[in-house]
Amino acid sequence: MTAYEDVLVWAKSRPWWQQKALARIAAGEALGQQDHEEIARSLFEEPESPPNGGWFAQLSPTQATKDEPVRVVAVRGLANVNRLASGQELTFEPDGLTVVFGNNGSGKSGYARVIRSMVRTRHHADILPDVFAQTPDQQSGEVEFTVGANERNVQLGQPADPDLSRVAFYDEHCGDTYLTAEAEISYRPAAVQLLDDLAAVCTGVRQVIDGWKQAVSQPGPLPDVDDLGPGGAFLQSLSVSTTDDAISAAVACPSDVDERLENQVNAIARLRTSDPTQEKRQLNATVTALETISQHLVDLDKALGADGQKRLDELSERVTATKRAADLASRNTFADEPLSGVGSSVWQVLWRAAEGYSKEVYPEHAFPHIKEGAVCVLCQQTLSDDASDRLARFHRFVTDTTAREAGAAQRALERFRDDLEQLEFTPRVVSSAIATVQQRDENFAESLDPLLEKFRVRKEAMSTGERSAPVDVSTYL
C-alpha cells in the first residue's frame, strides 16, 4: 500500500467535513478563505451525506510521472578556466559508466567544478580563471547534454538549463556538506502534502469560528449618527430620566424598513448600469436643489421663528410706547382745542392729506401756509389769527420728536406685517427645486408638506396676534 493510499484509509476515520475537504484537495482544488467560511457554516447544520461510495470514490489513483532521461555527454571548449588546457574535450559514455583518470593537478577537479555549476548539487565552488595567464581572457566553455534523444548545450557563465537540475552530482565536498551542513528537504511526497493542505484548511476553519466567537462576545460598533438628524437629537436628549419606552421607540425599525431596503438595493443596481457622467450631473442638480430648499426653510424660520416673533413683539411694544407718549403730549398741548383727538392716527392722516394738498395749491410756500391772506386748505376760509396759531402749534407737534418716533414705529410695524403677508411658502424657484429632488425621491414633496403647513399656521397666528410655538426645522436641514 502506498503512502497516498495510507492517507486515504486514515482519512475515512475523520469527521465528514474533513473527508470532504481532503477529497477536494486530492482532486486538485485550492481551498481559500471563502471555502473555510462555507465549511464553518456547514458545521452548524446537519451533517452532509457522502456520495455513493464515499467521499473518495471519484478519486483516481496517483500515477507516477516519467520524464525523458538527462545525460551529460561532454565538456568542451574551455578557456581561462583554472589551469585547464584550452581546446580540450572531456566526453562521457551516454550508456554505462565512464571513468576519468588523472594524476594530482591534472584538472579533474576543474572539470568537476564546471559540471557542478550547472547541475543539482549540495556544494558549489567558484570557477577561478587562470591566474598565471599573461593576458587573461573571458572565461568560456560549454557542456553538452541530451534530454531523451534531443541534444542540447549550455555555455559557461549563462543560466543553466532547467532540465540539468535533474542531474545529481556528488563528490568529496558534497559528502562533507551532507554530513556537516543543514539543508531543507526539497522533495515532499504527495501524501504528506495532502496532510499539510488539510491542516491548513482546519486552521482556516478554526480561525473563522474564532472570529465569529470574538464578534459575538464583544458589542458591535456603534453606527455613525448625524447630529442634526432625529437620532442625533435623541442621543443628545438622553438623561437619567429617559424611560425604557422612549428608548424602545427611538431604536425601533420603521414599519417600511423592508421597502426602504429594497429601494436602496434597486438604487445600487441602477447606479451600476447608469452613465457616471449623467449620474454626476443629476446628483449635482439635486444637491443644488436641496441647498435652495434648505436656504428657503432657513429664511422661513428666520421670518416666522423665534427671531421673527421677537422682532414683531419689539415693534408692537415700540408702537404702543411711542403712541402713548404722543397721546400724552397731544392731550397736554391741545387740551383746550374745540375738538378732541388731535394727534391721533386718524387726525394725522387728515394732517398729511392737508399737507399734500397745500403743496399743490401753495407750491411756493412751506406747509402750513399761515401768512396774511392765507386760506385753510380744508375749509377754504381765510385763516384768522387763532387759526394760524393753531396750525403752527399743530405743525410743531407733528414735527416734534415724540410724534415722529410714534409715526416711524407705526410705519416699521406696518412694513413688517406687509413683508409677513407677502411671504411665499413655495415660490417658483423652490417649487422647481422640489420637482428636481422629487425625480430621485418620489416621496420628498409629501414629506415636506407637513412642515410647510406648520409654517402657514404660524404665519396666520403672527398676523392675527395669536401666540404659537415656533416650527422646528432641525430635522429637515
The Cα–Cα gap between 217 and 375 comes to 102
Within a 10 A sphere around the Cβ of 340, how many other Cβ atoms? 12
In sequence order, the β-bridge partners of residue 74 are 91, 144
Examine the pLDDT at 125 and tell me if it is beyond 50: yes
**Mean per-residue pLDDT for 12-25?**
90
Going by C-alpha positions, the residue among 38, 11, 37, 15 that lies closest to residue 25 is 11
The CA dihedral of 205, 207, 212, 216, to the nearest 10 degrees, is 150
Please, are residues 83 and 52 in contact by the beta-carbon 8 Å criterion?
no
Check residues 390 and 267 and name the one with the higher pLDDT. 267
> Can you tell me the distance from the alpha carbon of 353 to that of 411, in angstroms, rounded to the nearest whole number?
17
Cα separation of 393 and 301, whole Å? 46
pLDDT of 6 > 70? The answer is yes
Q: How confident is the model at residue 441 (pLDDT cuts 50, 70, 90)?
A: confident
Find the mean pLDDT for residues 426-449.
86
At 17 the pLDDT is 93
Instruction: Write down the pLDDT at residue 79.
Output: 87
- Gyration radius from the chain CA atoms: 53
pLDDT score of 409: 77
Residues 6+ positions from 285 with CB-CB distance below 8 Å: 436
CB 117 within 8 A of CB 124: yes
Taking 70 as the threshold, does the pLDDT of residue 61 lie above it? no
**What average pLDDT does range 19-34 have in this prediction?**
88
Bridge partner residues of 75 (DSSP)? 90, 143
Residue 343: the pLDDT is 58
Q: For residue 347, count other CB atoms closer than 10 A to its CB.
A: 18
Q: What is the pLDDT of residue 477?
A: 61
Q: What is the pLDDT of residue 322?
A: 67
| Candidate from 75-79, 232-236, 301-305 with smallest mean pLDDT | 301-305
At residue 330, does pLDDT exceed 80?
no
How far is C-alpha 305 from the geometric centre of its chain's CA atoms? 36
Q: CB count, 10 Å around CB of 297? A: 19
Q: Tell me the backbone φ, ψ of residue 133, rounded to 5 degrees.
A: -70, 140
C-alpha span between 397 and 383 (Å, rounded):
19
111 and 72 Cβ atoms separated by less than 8 Å = no
In the block, residue with C-alpha cell 397736554: 332
pLDDT digits (tens, 9 = 90+) for 138-185: 888 999 999 988 999 999 888 888 888 888 888 888 888 878 877 666
Sign, CA dihedral 421-425-426-430, equals positive
* Strand order through the sheet with 89-91: 89-91, 70-79, 140-147, 150-155
Peptide bond into 368 cis (omega under 30): yes
Number of alpha carbons in the 13 Å side-chain half-sphere of residue 409: 22
Among candidate residues 25, 56, 20, 29, the one with its CA nearest the CA of residue 191: 25
Burial class (CB in 10 A: 0-12, 13-18, 19+), 84: buried
Comparing C-alpha atoms, which of 25, 21, 58, 23 is closest to residue 39?
Answer: 21
Average pLDDT of span 426-440: 88
CB-CB neighbours of 337 under 10 Å? 13
Give CA separation, 244 vs 227, 249, 251, in Å.
22, 9, 11
Cβ–Cβ under 8 Å, residues 370 and 378: no
pLDDT beyond 90 at 384: no
The amino acid at residue 435 is A
199-235: pLDDT as tens digits? 999 999 999 999 999 888 877 677 788 888 888 888 8
Residue in this structure with the C-alpha cell 392737508, named with its chain if needed: 354
Query: Tell me, what DSSP letter sits at residue 367?
Result: S
Spell out where 333-409 has E strands: none
